[in-house]
Amino acid sequence: MDLRLLQRVPERALRGRASVTLIAAAFAITMLGTTLPTPLYPLYEKAFGFSELITTVVFAAYAVGVIAALLLFGHWSDQLGRRPMLLAGLVLSGFSAVVFLLADSLGWLFVGRVLSGLSAGIFTGTATATIVDLVPDEGKSRASLIAAAVNMGGLGAGPLLAGVLAQYAPLPLALCFLFDLVLVALAVLGVYVVAEPVRRTAAIRLAPQKITVPSEIRGVFTRAAIAGFAGFAVMGLFTAVSPAFLTTVLQNTNHAVTGAVVLSVFLASTLGQSLSMAIGERRALTLGCVGLIVGMILVGTSLLVRSLAVLIVGAVIAGLGQGMSFRAGLGAVASASPPDKRGEITSTYFVMLYVGIAIPVIGEGAAAVAFGLTVSGMVFAALIAILAVTVLLLLKRAHHPSFGRRSCHHGGDQPR
C-alpha cells in the first residue's frame, strides 16, 4: 500500500464538527467489530467442539493483538499522519470480519481475534488523537471524553447487534459480520473525506514503543495499574465468560439478552468515566474501587442464587467502578509522568490493562473446567474485589501524613 496515496487530502476535505462525527463513527464501528463474537461463543463451542477454557484463550488472542499494536505502532500516526493509520485499522477490522465469515474450525477464530486486536490497538490511540486534533477549540476540554464514550459505546453495541441478529435473524454466525463489513466500508469512505490534521514528518523513525515506569512515579502507577487491571479483568469476564454464565448457570439462552447485559457494562463504564472527570482523580479512584468491590460481590451472589436481575445490577455497578477507576488512574499516571516520557508511560499503563483483560479470564476458564462455572465465577469475583481493596489500602497509605512527608521528594507519590 502506497502511504502517499492515503496521505493525499481529497478536494473539499471535511473539517470541524462534521469531521469529528465521521471519525467518531469510524471509531465506534471498529470497536463494535471487536466484540461481535461475544454472544456467539456458545454457538462456536457447539459447532467446533471446544471447552470454556478454549473460549477464554480465543478471547485473550484479542489482547495479544492489542498489545502488539500498542507496542509496535503506538506513535506511527504522529509521523505518518492520522489517515493512513486509521485506514490500516479499518482494513484489519474488515479482514477480521472476513475471517469470521470463513471460519470452519477453531484456528480461524484465533486469527480473527488477533486481527481484531490489531485493529483496535491501532485505532484506539489514533482515533482519540484525531478527535482531539479536529474538535473546535471551544470543545477541546470534552474531546477525550467524546472519544472514550464512542469507544465504550462501540464495544457495547457489538454484542447487542450480534446477539439480536443471532437470536432473531438467519445465519447466526455470519449475518452480523456481513453487516459489519458494510459498516467498515462506509467508515473507510468517511475517514478518507476527512482532512488530515497532522503533517507527515520528513524524517520517519518507526521504532517500537518502550515499556517504562520511572521510579519517581511508581507509587501512582502501581495504584492506577492495579485498579485498571482489576477493572479490565471485569470487562474481560463479561465479554468472554458472561455468555456461559447466562446459558449454563442462569439457564438463559437468549443471545440478545447476553448482548444487552454486556452493553449495560460498557454504558455504565462510560458514565463512570464522565463522573470521574467531574469529581476528581483521588475520589474517583476510591469510589471506583468501591464500585468494583460491590459489583463483584453482586456478580458472585447472582451465580450462587441463580438470579439474572442480581447479575445485571452487579454488572452495572462494576461497570461504573471500572469506568471511574480507569479514567482516574489514567489521569493520575498522565499528570504525574514527565512530559518527555508521558507517551511511553501511558503505553505501559495500557499494556498492563490488556494483560488484565486476558490472563485472569484464562484462569477463570481453566477453573471453570476444573470446578464448574459457579465456583470459578465466585472465586474470580472475590479476587477482583481483593485487588480493589488493595488499591484502597495503598491510597490510604499514600495519603498518610508521614508517608506524604517521606514522599515529598518524589512527585508521583505526593498526596493528590
- Supply angle C-alpha 19, 22, 23, rounded to 5: 85
Q: Find the length of the chain.
A: 416
135 and 82 in a common domain: yes
Write down the pLDDT at residue 2: 45
- Split into its structural domains, the chain has a count of 2
Write down the pLDDT at residue 207: 72
Position with higher pLDDT, 113 vs 414: 113
Write down the pLDDT at residue 355: 92
Cα dihedral sign for 186, 192, 197, 199? positive
CATH number at residue 19: 1.20.1250.20
Write down the pLDDT at residue 205: 74
281-305 and 373-398 helices, crossing angle to 10°: 160
Write down the pLDDT at residue 416: 37
| Distance in angstroms (rounded) separating the CA atoms of residues 129 and 197 | 10
Residue 207 within any structural domain of the chain: no
| Distance in angstroms (rounded) separating the CA atoms of residues 90 and 154 | 14
Q: Is the pLDDT of residue 139 over 70?
A: no
Cell of 149: 464514550
Quick one: how far is CA 410 from the chain centroid? Answer: 31
144 and 236 in a common domain: no
114 Rama sector, left if φ>0, alpha if ψ -120 to 50, beta otherwise: alpha
Integer angstrom CA distances of residue 138 from 15, 16, 182: 15, 11, 34
Residue 416 within any structural domain of the chain: no
- What is the CB-side half-sphere exposure of residue 32 using CA atoms within 13 A? 26
Q: How confident is the model at residue 141 (pLDDT cuts 50, 70, 90)?
A: low
Cell of 75: 506513535
pLDDT digits (tens, 9 = 90+) for 63-102: 999 999 988 887 787 778 889 999 999 999 999 999 999 9
Domain that holds residue 169: 10-196
Position with higher pLDDT, 142 vs 393: 393
Residue 261's nearest CA partner among 227, 298, 286, 287 is 298
Cell of 241: 465468560
- Final residue belonging to a domain, choices 166, 196, 226: 196
Q: What is the DSSP letter of 136?
A: -
CB-count exposure of residue 12 (10 Å: 0-12, 13-18, 19+): exposed
Q: Is the pLDDT of residue 271 over 80?
A: yes
0.85 exceeded by the pTM?
yes
Contacts of 400 (CB under 8 A, 6+ apart): none
378 and 323 in a common domain: yes
323 and 239 in a common domain: yes
Q: How confident is the model at residue 373 (pLDDT cuts 50, 70, 90)?
A: very high
